[in-house]
Amino acid sequence: MLKSTHALFLLSAGLFFGCASQGPRPEIFNLPSKGPAQAEGKILKNELKGGLSSLKGKKVHAFVIFNLPDGYLIRAKSKINPPDYAIKEVVDLQEERVSWLNEALVVNCDQCFDLHAEPPLRELSEDDLLRLIDKVSLHQAPVAADWKTLQKESGKADYIWLIFGSEDYEQRRGPVKKNGVLSAWSQIEVTLKSYLYDRAKGKVIHASEVVAKDFDLAVYPLPTEMQDKQTALAVTKLSTLDDLSALEPEGSGFDSTQFDNQYPYPDVPDSPNVVQKGLLKMLELANQ
């Protein structure tokens, strides 16, 4: 579901930048081992003494809101035939994310508290949801007016848990000194921002940010014209995400677009595993 929906979004928005070649592929060198998706995070605020277990017996209402492709599909629904298809796709995506949150909760704090979570589009108006989606895109934290809106839809919950999520994609090529080869890689980065709001205190008592990443990499023979001293400086290991930024040296003058057919990008990794990895890390931080 996620993969087909993202393809629809990227194609419709004119952003699908990783089309594979239909022609013969050059020999692919042996690739370095690639581990599972990685996630790192930090606690921004912590007044939750005792972690999630301290909420035992309390009611928590969660809203999991991603900017893409949700915002694009809602705004583009009038251009999609039938229009209801776009809304159904958004709700299906949101249901999956809610299920992943529940799964992460089972791992980190099973039966800690009574969690209620639904697809946001079932609980919020399109206008209210789009306003929150815009905050995700603009990297803005929720304000008092946002909490007021969420309180109206959260019944008698003791706490409101707002999770903002965004997905970014990158595809690049660069020279690497490894028997004269050219690398092509595709990366997905998911950012999650968590805000736990104490209704009685009228404030956020816990906040955190998590970045989860995954990538795929292909290596091809380096074109002869690129085997010069400047590109020879691009010596790097290819086994970790941190090395990716070094694969295309600054000032190399390398125009990667001319190699689209001959040196295709690998597919962008699917987002479910990355989102799930991020949610697990987010719950881990909430338990500290």
* Residue 100 to residues 45, 104, 140, 192, Cα–Cα distance (Å): 24, 6, 24, 13
Q: Which two tokens stand for residue 154?
A: 């959260």
Nearest to 189 by CA among 40, 14, 72, 65: 40
Output the tens digit of pLDDT for each of the chain's 288 residues: 444 444 444 433 433 333 333 333 444 444 555 668 899 999 999 999 999 999 999 999 999 999 999 999 999 988 887 878 999 999 999 999 999 999 999 998 877 899 999 999 999 999 999 999 999 999 999 999 999 999 999 999 999 999 999 999 988 776 555 556 777 788 899 999 999 999 999 999 999 999 999 988 887 776 565 555 544 444 333 334 344 444 454 555 555 555 577 778 888 888 999 999 999 999 999 998
pLDDT for 251 equals 53
The residue type of 130 is: L
Whether the Cβ atoms of residue 182 and residue 220 lie closer than 8 Å to each other: yes
Amino acid 35: pLDDT: 66
Query: What is the rounded CA–CA span in Å between residue 132 and residue 74?
Result: 13
pLDDT at 224: 62
Instruction: Give me 214's structure tokens.
Output: 């995954």
User: Residue 63 has what pLDDT?
Assistant: 98
In this prediction, residue 42 carries a pLDDT of 98
CA dist., res. 70 & res. 93, Å (int): 8
pLDDT score of 58: 96
- Cβ(262)–Cβ(89) below 8 Å: no
- In this prediction, residue 21 carries a pLDDT of 34
| pLDDT at site 148 | 97
**CA–CA gap between residue 279 and residue 133 (Å, rounded):** 18
The confidence score (pLDDT) of residue 266 equals 87
Give the per-residue pLDDT at 233: 45
Helical spans, DSSP H, in 175-252: 229-232
